[in-house]
Chains A and B, each alone.
Chain A
């Protein structure tokens, strides 16, 4: 089932209608200048038991993509390029394939997917997707970059391995190298925990204890009694939590049996974006976003912004609006882009992952930015995060030199 986000997007939708009419009249002339980007969004329904104090905005993600389209068009006007966003929302139990066909049918060759990993994987395998470029904006699954990688699929969000490595480097640098790993009950928590174990091994940390959170009481009421008992483990420096949906992780801080910091999916969090991030010109993006969306930019907004900007930046750099040539330009070895996190972003040829620095953020401040000093790599220090070329399980893209 597909719902268009009509109220917020009235202008975009009416422009879409206009574009369709123009395409019908003179397809060749029009296609020469306009770059059409589909945005396929699907937000999974949070479990009923989870109380999220920060209710996400209805346009979470979408607002980032819309700002990026504005940015692309500001640049595009000097190059006779115009960008059009065609956003479609798929219900949590809806059929994303129908939405993809609809977007492709309206002429989009670039589809930004802001959806769970399973949806991304299914879409990449569709025969109709073969000549599209799919940009996975938000799904962190390493399998999408590994065994399920695809030549038509790029990854904008950092993978879980990159997030865990970013955190792991910092903890090791702080010499907090004995970790107590607490994992939630959901499959994605197990994957996050797996990435944490991998990071521990890579950077010489030890997981001295592991526990799984299985309590089914209302944690909001029982945390004070349960967590001190649950965390009675000796000899650790930091509690690393894997609870992506936010079921219990926020209740750990200040309740552990021993006074220890919490990091991972809660506490000190590896992330692409934070509302207090202001270095490297980020203050400008923050204020531009705030002026446009009337709220602060979230990591999901930032991922969608980056995905749409990748296309705009490659179009400006290569002077290409032709989709085939633009798809090649995005994946050219010298493609780089600025995204307000210091080092330039670029693509890893071996798995289609966007290389990027990762912020480590507390509730109201950015604590650090990884890669940390001293973690060296012969190509770029950014490749100390996540799966490097020799380790990639991706076969279809080949072990190309980046």
Chain B
């Protein structure tokens, strides 16, 4: 109780000068956090200013990955058990239509131009690329067993997918519309994210307990980052979500049942700290101003709020059952 009160005071204290300086009342307060609850078939909406859940809306079955459209007016939701990607209009909070998605969509990534959605179809070993404006499948490619992590390079040239049982990164050439190369990484790769300049791809390996940093030019692993937490057995350190700050300073890694988020120096690859969050921490999202990181904690059913300046966990917010995906609208 005391901790969270202190925390909100600290947040208020850090937000206030920023507001005054910018002279834009409510700029930070306008942030909205969206969280998909895998076992409630719902979406929790959190007000970034009050840090309270303001609404819970019903969505499709087993919602997992979520991502915002480029203009921020819509939210794409992987409704895995409905075998659809739902498009939620954020103003009306209504699902306006579905995109074709292939079977069991789990995670996806939007191309930099916002036009192509890359969807991992976990049950059918396929990546489906959907043309968003026409709502049609542009093409599908075969990948390894249990495709999961997805990202698109900032220049739009590469779509990457990680397959969990195959333990590879598949490099999809957007022009050729085909997998042209594969990089073997640690067992059960869950999540992939390009650095802002596109030079590296960071990939978490849940069962390997590592994060691989892959050189985008050569497609070779250039660094493997290990994690060790005192009092937590190695088996329980299972990296899932990864988020890199735009300034290239930090990488945050959600360590699953180890209940910690690792703070990695993105330049030296040194692990600087482990922050205790809720149970089975899964996915992460940064605010556009890069000041706050939100984590979904599946087993404890909450979201932890991390202040990036001080690298402290400032609050936890109760959401639905098994929160999975998280996205922040700035």
Interface of A toward B, CB cutoff 8 Å: 71, 74-75, 78-79, 281, 284, 287-288, 291, 313, 316-317, 336-338, 342-344, 380-382
Contact = CB atoms under 8 A, between A and B. Distances in A.
B273 interface: no
Contact of B184 (A287, A288, A316, A344): A316
Given A337-B187, A343-B235, A380-B233, A78 B207 contact: no
A344 B166 contact: no
A344 B164 contact: no
Q: Which 8 A-B pairs have the closest CB atoms?
A: A343-B235, A75-B166, A338-B207, A78-B182, A338-B188, A344-B207, A74-B145, A71-B145
Range for the number of chain B residues in contact with chain A? 20 to 34
Contact of A281 (B146, B182, B236): B146
A78 B316 CA distance: 43
A336 to B, nearest CB: 6
Contact of B166 (A78, A291, A336, A380): A78
B166 A74 contact: yes
Interface in B74-107: 104
A287 to B, nearest CB: 5
B69 interface: no
A382 B235 contact: yes
A356 to B, nearest CB: 11
Given A284-B123, A344-B235, A382-B235, A338 B104 contact: no
B281 to A, nearest CB: 15
Nearest to A78: B182
Contact of A336 (B125, B165, B207, B233): B207
B325 interface: no
B165 A71 contact: yes
27 contacts: A71-B145, A71-B165, A74-B144, A74-B166, A75-B144, A75-B145, A75-B166, A75-B167, A78-B168, A281-B146, A288-B123, A313-B167, A316-B166, A316-B167, A316-B184, A317-B184, A336-B187, A337-B187, A338-B164, A338-B187, A338-B188, A342-B238, A342-B257, A343-B236, A344-B207, A344-B235, A381-B235
Given A344-B187, A380-B235, A336 B208 contact: yes
Contacts of B257: 342
B151 interface: no
Contacts of B123: 284, 287-288, 291
A4 B188 CA distance: 35
Contacts, number: 67
Nearest to A72: B145
Interface in B179-208: 179, 182, 184, 187-188, 206-208
B191 to A, nearest CB: 13
Contact of B104 (A71, A75, A287, A313): A287
Given A337-B187, A343-B235, 4 more contacts: A75-B167, A281-B188, A338-B207, A344-B235
Given A281-B146, A316-B184, A344-B207, A75 B165 contact: yes
Contacts of B104: 284, 287
Interface of B: 104, 122-123, 125, 144-146, 163-168, 170, 179, 182, 184, 187-188, 206-209, 233-236, 238, 257
Contacts of A281: 146, 164, 188
A313 to B, nearest CB: 8
Nearest to B298: A279
Please indicate which of the listed interface residues B104, B188, B207, B257 has the most CB atoms of chain A within 10 Å of its own CB: B207
Nearest to A346: B235
Contacts of B165: 71, 75, 338
Nearest to B209: A344
Nearest to B170: A78
A284 B125 CA distance: 11
A212 to B, nearest CB: 39
Contacts of A313: 167, 187
A308 to B, nearest CB: 12
A287 B103 CA distance: 11
B187 A75 contact: no
Contacts of A78: 144, 166, 168, 170, 179, 182
Nearest to B123: A287
A291 B208 CA distance: 28
Nearest to B62: A283
A284 B233 contact: no
A327 B293 CA distance: 45
Contacts of B184: 316-317
A380 B233 CA distance: 7
A284 B62 CA distance: 13
Contacts of A284: 104, 122-123, 146, 164
A336 B187 CA distance: 8
A232 to B, nearest CB: 42
Contacts of B206: 338
Contacts of A287: 104, 123
Contacts of B208: 336, 344
Contacts of A381: 233, 235
Please indicate which of the listed interface residues B145, B182, B209 has the most CB atoms of chain A within 10 Å of its own CB: B145
Please indicate which of the listed interface residues B104, B144, B163, B235 has the most CB atoms of chain A within 10 Å of its own CB: B235
Contacts of A288: 123, 146
A349 B170 CA distance: 33
Contacts of B236: 343
A380 B146 CA distance: 27
B138 to A, nearest CB: 23
Please indicate which of the listed interface residues A288, A338, A343 has the most CB atoms of chain B within 10 Å of its own CB: A338
A135 B103 CA distance: 34
